Amino acid sequence: MAAVGYGSTVRSTQSGAVPASLVPHPREELFSVLVIDGHPLLREAIAGQLVSMGAGTVHEASSVAEARTCAAASGPCELAILDLGLSGGDGLKLVDELHGQGWPRIVVLASPDDPHAVRSAFQSGAQACLLRSAPANIVIDGVRRVLDGGAGADPGGAPMPAAGTRVAGTDSNLSELSAREIQVLQLVADGQSNKEIGEALNLSALTVKSHLSRIGRKVATGDRAQMVALAMRAGVIH
């Protein structure tokens, strides 16, 4: 394991070292990736699974500063995975920087109670958003989908395309949303609480909660961040 940049590491595999059965079809070639997370155990677990699925080089960084140093040294990898809650800097700003530098695939890890971060991550150039607390194997499943064609994963861990793509059945569910429900969902995407949404729309917090419950039944999830990701992808909100 060789050091690359300040505080980052690289795990490398030689061609043929990974059993063919562990390399996901159709991506049989090795790929490079940068994993940015302040929690060593999660970062190492993700790195280890990436190697098992065919990563040739896995760079690791624990902060925004380390990530910038590593990115400058390595140049764009095929994939970056980063925690939006990184210490010592703005994770969303780092997404924007990597996207601007030509990194083709960016997967972010976000908190389930921060739908605004989901929206901002997609707008900054991320292809997928996963739940920060998801097990490493769920994160890797989402990563595999991104590598195999640009598909992302929602913050709840269930596979879904990133913003701008379509999945059969989902759009029809979202088309059932009323104008008021779309207004509520847009304000959720803007990061507003139930109380703030109620004040903006002249509704009680209880009525806002009822609207969100109905939205959840229609789109088959009660997770606010997931609702936002689904609606943004379908173009219902922006």
In this structure, the dihedral spanned by the alpha carbons of residues 154, 156, 158 and 159, taken in order and rounded to 10 degrees, is 20
2-161 and 170-234: same fold?
no
Q: 228 falls in which pLDDT band (50, 70, 90)?
A: confident
Higher pLDDT, 195 or 11: 195
- Burial-class residue 136 by CB neighbours within 10 Å (0-12, 13-18, 19+): middle
Domain ranges of the chain: 2-161, 170-234
**pLDDT value at position 190?**
82
The domain made up of 170-234 is a member of CATH 1.10.10.10: yes
Tokens describing residue 220 = 């088959």
**pLDDT value at position 11?**
52
Pairwise CA distance, residues 3 & 10, whole Å: 6
2-161 CATH: 3.40.50.2300
Element at 224 (helix H, strand E): helix 224-234
Tokens describing residue 117 = 């971060």
Tokens describing residue 29 = 């070639």
Q: 29 falls in which pLDDT band (50, 70, 90)?
A: low
Q: 20 falls in which pLDDT band (50, 70, 90)?
A: very low
